[in-house]
């Protein structure tokens, strides 16, 4: 993980519609010279390590729109999960050397160590414009010939209708100790990020449970609140998870982020749909309808809750780029959720107040911290 690359190896990225992009291989070698996934683009200027290790990218190939990636290296403290779950990484220029006092290695080495292939030297401006115009689509990249890559891209199923959560969730419950608060919370792991757990542990002890844990087991823990995490892919095939969430509503305060927001909406009959190319970046403007304040937010999702599909909830936040739903709160039960990422490692931090909102909701439901009053 020295950060210095060897002689370039020619590689190509081929989209399912036949578009071809020339580049060079980085990271781990692709199996049989081919890596496949749904190709999306992310507009962050920094935080590439957090993006690559975000489990919400399972099944996807990440294109970074910023032209120069990897200049400050990587370090274990900035991992958002135990390993990257993305299928690959596409960049314009991978930094030949990193320079930062916190760095313990380079991005190329991180990808290689975790078996993630990548491709550099790509005209990411052209690629991004194409995806913006035509929508996110399957693609394949590697050192195989273009005909092989095209066949692989066409054969890639993408993320529609696929349970991607099963790939990223924890195998067994574990506890994150409190770093300051006295609450007891349960967090569903649909692909939970480490930065979220750092914020929740500031409120109290967090028991993280696998995605398909029944509501009865969660309620038996007598939590003050339940958190529904971010995660990858399409919420449609996750019927059992939506049923468990429905059983929790009215029993304990619930807070959801990203996929957790979509599943919370779906638990009460809300509809979701797929965006053309998703929201992936760290600079999306969202209006808080209660305050009128515009928050700059971090986002990573391809699916969205349909406006007006939940009669029992009020709209709280709206995306100013496309007017899509970014937040809801329920009128008859103690539950709320947002589509974006208020934890946002490394930033922006405009929306971190939502964790305090969750704490206030737990306080109003059960009184003293740790009382398990939501049950």
What are the catalytic residues? Answer: 258, 341, 343
CA distance 213 to 216: 8
CA distance 150 to 323: 35
Give whole-number Cα distances, 261 to 55, 68, 99, 305, in Å. 16, 33, 38, 8
The answer to whether 257 touches 338, Cβ cutoff 8 Å, is yes
DSSP assignment string, 151-174: HHHHH---STT---HHHHS-SS-E
DSSP assignment string, 308-346: T--TTEEEEEEETTT--EEEEEESSSSEEEESSBSS-SS
Phi, psi of 365 (to 5 degrees): -85, -35
Indicate the SS3 state at residue 191.
coil
Indicate the SS3 state at residue 99.
coil
CA distance 205 to 176: 6
Q: What is the DSSP letter of 296?
A: E
Indicate the SS3 state at residue 300.
strand
The rounded Cα 39 to chain-centroid distance in angstroms is 15
How many other C-beta atoms are found inside a 10 Å radius of the C-beta of residue 352?
A: 14
Residues in CB range of 119: below 8 A, 6 or more apart: 11, 12, 13, 23, 24, 25, 26, 88, 89, 90, 91, 141, 142
Indicate the SS3 state at residue 187.
strand
Angle in degrees, CA 260, 165, 221, rounded to 5: 60
């Amino acid at each position: 993980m020295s950060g210095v690359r060897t002689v370039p190896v020619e590689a190509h990225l081929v989209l399912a519609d036949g578009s071809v992009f020339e580049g060079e291989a980085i990271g781990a070698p692709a199996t049989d010279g081919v890596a496949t996934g749904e190709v999306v683009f992310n507009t962050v200027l920094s935080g590439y390590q957090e993006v690559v290790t975000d489990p919400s990218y399972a099944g996807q190939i990440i294109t970074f729109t910023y032209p120069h990636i990897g200049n400050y290296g990587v370090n274990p403290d900035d991992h958002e999960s135990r390993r990257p779950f993305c299928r690959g990484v596409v960049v314009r220029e991978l930094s030949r050397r990193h320079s930062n006092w916190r760095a313990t290695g380079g991005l190329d080495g991180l990808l290689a160590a975790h078996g993630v292939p990548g491709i550099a030297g790509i005209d990411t401006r052209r690629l991004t414009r194409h995806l913006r115009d035509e929508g996110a689509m399957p693609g394949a990249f590697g050192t195989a010939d273009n005909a092989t890559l095209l066949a692989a891209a066409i054969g890639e199923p993408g993320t529609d209708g696929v349970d991607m959560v099963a790939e990223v969730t924890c195998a067994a419950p574990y506890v994150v100790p409190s770093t300051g608060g006295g609450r007891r919370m349960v967090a569903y792991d649909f692909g939970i990020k480490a930065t979220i757990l750092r914020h929740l542990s500031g409120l109290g002890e967090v028991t993280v449970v696998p995605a398909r844990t029944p509501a009865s087991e969660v309620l038996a823990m007598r939590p003050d609140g339940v958190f529904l995490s971010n995660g990858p892919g399409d919420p449609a095939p996750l019927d059992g998870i939506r049923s468990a969430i429905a059983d929790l509503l009215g029993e304990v305060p619930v807070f959801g982020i990203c996929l957790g927001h979509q599943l919370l909406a779906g638990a009460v009959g809300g509809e979701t749909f797929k965006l053309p190319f998703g929201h992936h970046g760290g600079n999306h403007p969202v209006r808080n309808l209660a305050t009128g304040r515009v928050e700059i937010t971090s986002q990573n999702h391809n699916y969205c809750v349909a406006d007006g599909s939940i009669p029992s909830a009020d709209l709280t936040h709206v995306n100013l780029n496309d007017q899509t739903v970014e937040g809801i709160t329920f009128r008859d039960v103690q539950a709320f959720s947002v589509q974006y990422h208020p934890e946002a490692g490394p930033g922006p931090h405009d929306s971190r107040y939502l964790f305090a909102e969750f704490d206030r909701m737990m306080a109003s439901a059960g009184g003293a911290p740790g009382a398990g009053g939501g049950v």
